[in-house]
Structure 1
Amino acid sequence: MMQSQSQQNKNRTLRLIDLILIGFSGAIGFEIFVLLDYAYFNLAGPDVLIALALAGALNLLIMLTYSELSASMPKVGGEYTYIKTAYGGYLSFIFGCFRWLSSIFAASLAAVTFVLQLSFFFSVFYPQLQVAVLDHAWLISILIVLIMGLFEVRGSKKLGSIIVIAFLILFAVFIIGGFVGGSGSTDLSAVELPSGISGIFAATVYVLPMFIGTRAIIASASSAKRPDKDVPRGILLSGLLIIPIYILFAFVAIESFTPEAAEQQINLITFASERVFGEYGSIIFSVAGMVACLSALGTCLSTQSSISRGMSRDGYLPKILQSVHSRYGTHHFAAIVGTVFIMIISTLGQVPFLSYAASFGALVVFAVVNVALIKLRKTKPYMDRPFKTPFYPLTPILGVIFPLVLIIVPLIIGDGNAIEALTSISGLIGIVLASYFLRMSGRHRIQIALGGIGIGAGILISLFSILNIAGLIPNILAFVPVYIQLITSFVLIVTGCFNFTSGMKKQINPKSEHKEKSAVLRKRLAKRFKLAT
């Protein structure tokens, strides 16, 4: 026990400044290079500044809840652990998957944005290469995800801090240059609001991913030297500091815009950087955008790994996800699985779709985490709480209401990207529920049968999808996106193999299932006896 505690203390190496940098690495950066365009041109106009303030305030409100829960439970799994403590296994698994999907979509968005920034970079001095980049965007997205996945497996932790510091410097130069240069030429009221007040709320959903990355600190809570104090401080400080940075950045960009550029819907940041710094300004900030994409992509890979390991720890996902690489000391299987999913989804290349999908998963989890806080306050009043959410219960109640409102508003105004994303997410959740059933099924005969069906169906769906992509056959399931078909086939094959092999082992040794149940029961009784004494 003493040795285990000593080892745990050795693993706690992160200071407050490290946690703040982790929060920045997840939040600051790539989203502003692409998400401002859709929010500005299609939803809120110049009042996107209000949307940024609302998104930052909502993020800060939610982070108050996260600060209390992370200080009380600095464990691997983050939101999944909080919901599990409040509600038990099944709901925690479902909403843990929502959180995991949110990280996957956010990482895919980072990969797609990297390709766009790469195309802007080449547009200045080599337009022919820009065309080639856009034509092969899906391949470049896959390669960049693969490279960052290898960094995650190898455990290159210093890369994130270096990227964040470099990006903060470039950000500061842009803001100062915009104000000092006095390049403003746009009347902020000149652009008509596309959707009125509802457009501002809808824009808030699309710019929210700029802020929610601060919760990446949760994934590193178990490695903090003083998790009870530094984790809440790191979350709140990073969430608070990011608000004025983004608003100032967007203000300079909008002030630099011209009516002609607005009519052509030229990329907001690319145009503004040229106005502020001259001809090569777009090159500088294309590099900044790519740097930010790499930073956020690495953070999302780490976060999804933490969540999947938390679910693996509790038996909802295969134990192999907890495996540690013998050389690098990283959880390589969890990183590899997440990398594969991100590579598939990043081939979509649709920025608004990925943005809403990432926000949707995050907003659902935000609401449920706040409900979990309220329940834990009632059911576990004596839990150690080094940090308590101020203005309770108003804070968590608002933390439930606002996310649900933001989910609904884009659907009410008929935003096509939101409707498409919600449909796709519903399909993915259906896959999650099917996977849960296959994984938790205890009858070995059912496992063997369903395993065989899953493998066969997965191979068949993947075959049809590949033939459709190659143009050899039409899309048989036209109402289902091809990437959903590929993900479905991947999940069916993996879960099918797992259940088939697991069922065969239990059929060969039918007493093993009874022994496993007895062992679990003995562990539970021993745990209760220790708690009682």
Structure 2
Amino acid sequence: MRRERLKRELGLLQVTMLGVGASIGVGVFVLLGQAAAMAGPSVIVGLILSGVVNLLSILSFCELGAALPEVGGEHVYVSRAFGGLLGFITGWFEWMSEMFYAVLMAIGAAVMISSVLSPYIPFLTGHVNLLAALLVMLFTFVNIKGTKETGKTAVVLAVMLLSTLAIYIASGWITGFRPNAFDPFMPHGLFATMQATVFLFVVYLGAEDIVIAQGEVREPEKNIPRAIIINTMILIFVYTIIAYTTIGLVPCEELGTASMPLALAAQRTFLGQAGWLLIAIAGIVAALSSLNTAVMAQSRAIYSMSWEGYLPRFLSKIHGRHKTPYMAVLLSSFFTLLLTVSGALDFAAYASSFGFLVGYFLTNLSLIRLRKKEPYLERPFKVPFYPLTPLVGMGTIVLLIFFIQPPVLVLGAELGLLALLVYYILLMGHQRLRIATSGISLGAGLTSVFSAFLVNLDILQPALPVFIPEELLTYGLTVFGMVLIFLGIVNFVKTS
């Protein structure tokens, strides 16, 4: 089957706004309050430091994105540096993180839309997940229709978001700040400020979506590094001014107890209740902008792996008229819809964060590997202060691991094992696949029965997207395990 290439339709402005739209999600609207309570006014320093730390890893994306301007992002870099297996696992985590991030944004946008419109449309109150699913379908259509439309949508949403935040900032400055709002500046010490730095790292995630779409960017060797650096600088500036304004209006302790700290601060301006509505609109626009980019990014990760033969070829089909990978968009959106309807918000947050960190670490590692493996590769942009910059970037990611909750690490291991399973299944022939399936069924069945035993003894507490009573979970694992063991034996006998 002839493999078709994507059309390069994104300019510097569009691809930069894709990154801005992906980064300024609902996180900054809710995480800032907790970070302010943690560190006090010095959270402003934490935001700047977090942006600088993010930039250390983002510079690796700049060099590799300019040198290897192909669709797929981290997957392409790691495959080139370390080969197929690690490249596939990276692409898998890339897809998973973007898919779960899309779920987060869809549900977040639906919750805020419901809070604004439910007084007028009561039906929305109990149907947030349905609304979230409709939003996913809307942006699936946008992404199938064309990359140019996706880019235009990203520009419109990002401009709306930045304009709304500018109104909020201006209203705060016109209203005036509290006396001694920033005194003491570091009430809880330097350690608390560093904790806030790590905590806020997630609000800068999104710039890697620029390189995922680089196969559709005009003059990628120039526009990719420029877009990534401009995107990061915009985020550092915007986040710093937002934090300064918010702390100037509301005490840090009070922000820490607010579910929507920016909305609380907006109410303290001369805008009053209109300020709350303004921030709600900004949060909705932020979530929709991130959802738009996440739907695009996850489909490109699937397209890239299909293009290289790691996933079925039909997933790299290009739409005849719109020139978009419509099959990859449909598949990724299907799984996004399933998770969105389930309402598994915490589960999505865990998976998304871990996947992004895996991609950042392996991209830095790939930069070092390719500098040695392919010293003559043309590099229009080079990371400054090599190898210190990628090494420090990797070190900061390792540091973040110490602040990750254990369920996240368990989930990451589970996703990694699933990626290995899919990789080897796709490389097997029919006969070997049946034999392997028998072994997998037997192994999974025994594991399931053993897990039921551990759950019954309160030794194992699995990370699940929804709560399941212990007795029901034990019974379900036991029955599931017995069924798998039976099917494994039957399949093995037939194969023999």
> Is the structural similarity TM-score above 0.5?
yes
1:12 to 8, 14, 28: 8
Code of the residue aligned with 1:99 in structure 2: it is: E
8 Å Cα contact 1:186-1:256 kept in structure 2: no
In the TM superposition, what are the counterparts of 1:342-353 in structure 2 within 5 Å? 342-346=336-340, 347-350=342-345
Deviations 1:301-357 (A, max 9, x none): 111111111111222111121012344332122112222332333444545x64454
2:311 to 317, 325, 331: 317
2:431 to 420, 445, 458: 445
Deviations 1:76-123 (A, max 9, x none): 111111111111111111122222222122212212221332244248
Shift of 1:439: 1.6
Task: Provide the aligned length of Structure 1 versus Structure 2.
Answer: 457
Deviations 1:371-428 (A, max 9, x none): 11111111111110111111111111111111111121x24xxxxxx22222223222
Corresponding residue for residue 474 of structure 2: none
Measured in 2, the distance between the counterparts of 1:193 and 1:145 equals: 43
Matched, 1:256 2:243: no
Matched, 1:428 2:420: no
Code of the residue aligned with 2:91 in structure 1: it is: G
Measured in 1, the distance between the counterparts of 2:256 and 2:292 equals: 36
Report the CA distance shift for 1:250/1:48 in structure 2 as closer, same or farther (over 3 A).
same
Corresponding residue for residue 22 of structure 2: 26
Corresponding residue for residue 242 of structure 1: 235
Corresponding residue for residue 231 of structure 1: 224
Measured in 1, the distance between the counterparts of 2:431 and 2:325 equals: 32
8 Å Cα contact 1:25-1:299 kept in structure 2: yes
Query: Residue 71 of structure 2 aligns to a residue in which SS?
Result: coil
Code of the residue aligned with 2:311 in structure 1: it is: L
Report the CA distance shift for 1:116/1:451 in structure 2 as closer, same or farther (over 3 A).
same
1:173 to 167, 182, 201: 167
Matched, 1:85 2:76: no
Shift of 1:190: 7.3
TM-score, normalised to structure 2's length?
0.81
Report the CA distance shift for 1:382/1:287 in structure 2 as closer, same or farther (over 3 A).
same
Measured in 1, the distance between the counterparts of 2:252 and 2:365 equals: 46
Report the CA distance shift for 1:55/1:129 in structure 2 as closer, same or farther (over 3 A).
farther
Corresponding residue for residue 210 of structure 2: 217
Corresponding residue for residue 144 of structure 1: 135
Measured in 1, the distance between the counterparts of 2:290 and 2:312 equals: 27
Measured in 2, the distance between the counterparts of 1:332 and 1:31 equals: 29
Measured in 2, the distance between the counterparts of 1:388 and 1:264 equals: 44
1:57 to 48, 52, 59: 52
Matched, 1:113 2:103: no
Query: Residue 112 of structure 1 aligns to a residue in which SS?
Result: helix
Deviations 1:168-222 (A, max 9, x none): 111111112211221446734679978x655544444443232121222212322
Corresponding residue for residue 471 of structure 1: none
Measured in 1, the distance between the counterparts of 2:102 and 2:138 equals: 13
Code of the residue aligned with 2:215 in structure 1: it is: S
Measured in 2, the distance between the counterparts of 1:193 and 1:454 equals: 55
Measured in 1, the distance between the counterparts of 2:99 and 2:201 equals: 16
Deviations 1:505-528 (A, max 9, x none): xx9xxxxxxxxxxxxxxxxxxxxx
Query: Residue 213 of structure 1 aligns to a residue in which SS?
Result: coil
Which has the higher mean CA deviation after the structures are superposed, 377-386 or 260-269? 260-269
Matched, 1:67 2:62: yes
Measured in 2, the distance between the counterparts of 1:200 and 1:120 equals: 33
8 Å Cα contact 2:72-2:213 kept in structure 1: no
In the TM superposition, what are the counterparts of 1:401-420 in structure 2 within 5 Å? 401-408=395-402, 410-411=403-404, 418-420=405-407
Measured in 2, the distance between the counterparts of 1:46 and 1:38 equals: 12
In the TM superposition, what are the counterparts of 1:195-210 in structure 2 within 5 Å? 199-210=192-203
Matched, 1:306 2:305: no
Instruction: Flag the structure with more relative contact order, 1 or 2, with Cα contacts below 8 A and sequence separation at least 6.
Output: 2
Measured in 1, the distance between the counterparts of 2:132 and 2:439 equals: 32
Shift of 1:292: 1.2
Report the CA distance shift for 1:482/1:147 in structure 2 as closer, same or farther (over 3 A).
farther
Taking only the aligned residue pairs, the percentage that are identical comes to 30
Shift of 1:72: 0.5
8 Å Cα contact 1:117-1:290 kept in structure 2: yes
8 Å Cα contact 1:185-1:258 kept in structure 2: no
Shift of 1:46: 4.0
Query: Residue 236 of structure 1 aligns to a residue in which SS?
Result: helix
Shift of 1:264: 4.5
Query: Residue 70 of structure 2 aligns to a residue in which SS?
Result: coil
Corresponding residue for residue 32 of structure 2: 36
Shift of 1:163: 0.8
Report the CA distance shift for 1:365/1:317 in structure 2 as closer, same or farther (over 3 A).
same
8 Å Cα contact 2:27-2:203 kept in structure 1: yes
Matched, 1:48 2:35: no
Query: Residue 280 of structure 1 aligns to a residue in which SS?
Result: helix
| Structure 2 gap segments, 5+ residues each | 445-455, 469-476, 478-494
Code of the residue aligned with 1:335 in structure 2: it is: V
